[in-house]
Chain A
Amino acid sequence: MITRFITEVNAKFNPFSVASRSTRLFLSSLPSDARSTGMKINAKLLPQTSKETASLMVKFKDGKEMDLNGEQLGIKGIIEEVDRHSRALQKQADLTDG
């Protein structure tokens, strides 16, 4: 997964729900030096009894915000969506750098 262009990740999930699995896995797929390279990662855990669905918000360097529904997409879908935008940014960055 291309994580260079992500500036902020906000996740909210109930760990006792099976549906929140992909959101949790997305957090674990971020690199180990993500925080030290300037990415803001906020994870909020919901209580066991809450029926709220898991939510994941990803913000990119160009200001685009992406609200991803982990329950429908699954971890592969989330990574695909994030990478689609990251690849465009990568292309732009390559062109401007020369």
Chain B
Amino acid sequence: MNETLRWTRKDLLGIAPLDAPEIELILDTAESFLEVAERPIKKVPTLRGKGVINLFFEPSTRTRSSFELAEKRLSADSMNVSASTSALVKGESLLDTATNLQAMSPDLIIIRHQHPGVPHMLAKRLEAGVINAGDGAHEHPTQALLDALTIRRNKGRIKGLRVAIIGDIEHSRVVRSNIQLLNKLGAEVTIAGPRSMMPAAAHALGATVSYDLDEALEGRDVVMMLRTQLERHKRSLVPSVREYFKLFGLTHARLARAADDVIVMHPGPMNRGTEIASDVADGPASVILEQVANGVAVRMAVLYLLSTAATGAAPTAAGQSDKEPHAGDGAHRGES
């Protein structure tokens, strides 16, 4: 674990503000938390007495349960607030909801919202540290971090890898966070999808743009498929699932163009037969369930690092989990 770098940020709003050493610090910290899941008692006292609120304005099973489990394994006191039960349905403004929660003095607030920029707006107003758990099509930093951890554990490195990300690029926050993270750690990224699912200035995302699945797969070390929610698009982006699968669905036969030791990833939930065939999803190249396991460890790492910045204390990570967390030197307060 990187001993020289300390976490100083109050919030994790995206991959964009992070530099490579900060990303590596999170990944290294996550590695040390992976082991917790293998213990008979999967719990450490690291965040004992810390309050964490999961504020989800958009339905989410995977990300929310992953955060919740991470919080519980760190012994934090966590609470869920979802849009359907919150005062927002009674007409309260988002800002009022957030400042009311702040009045309860939580240490960290995890926010998922369907619109870009919401965690950024709240982070400016709230004392609590804010973790972006997905803001519209903007960023999903913990997803990119868990993807990076999965790649690193399978490939031993990220630098120099050739990664293809396939699917509905325009509406994906996963792709935006992933491209930035992979670029910062030295991978080479290609994005591919139907022209009607590409953003207006796809080149601005920092990846090579392709409109041909076979070309995008050629020689890739890592293939990430994105969830395609054809049914949710009010405006028809492709004519049918059948045509989409023919153009961009990942099958065993097409995957043969990738590197021999390619790994296949998917942020979930998958649409089998839309963007990915079952024989690939369940095949030997798939690391999709590993991603889920790594997600908990990455979120534990982020919660831990942010709580050290928020308090100025530096409790120990999983390594000394049987001891009381000791007070760190108070000099490393969050500044961001």
Partners in one complex: no
Chain A residues near B (Cβ < 8 Å)? none
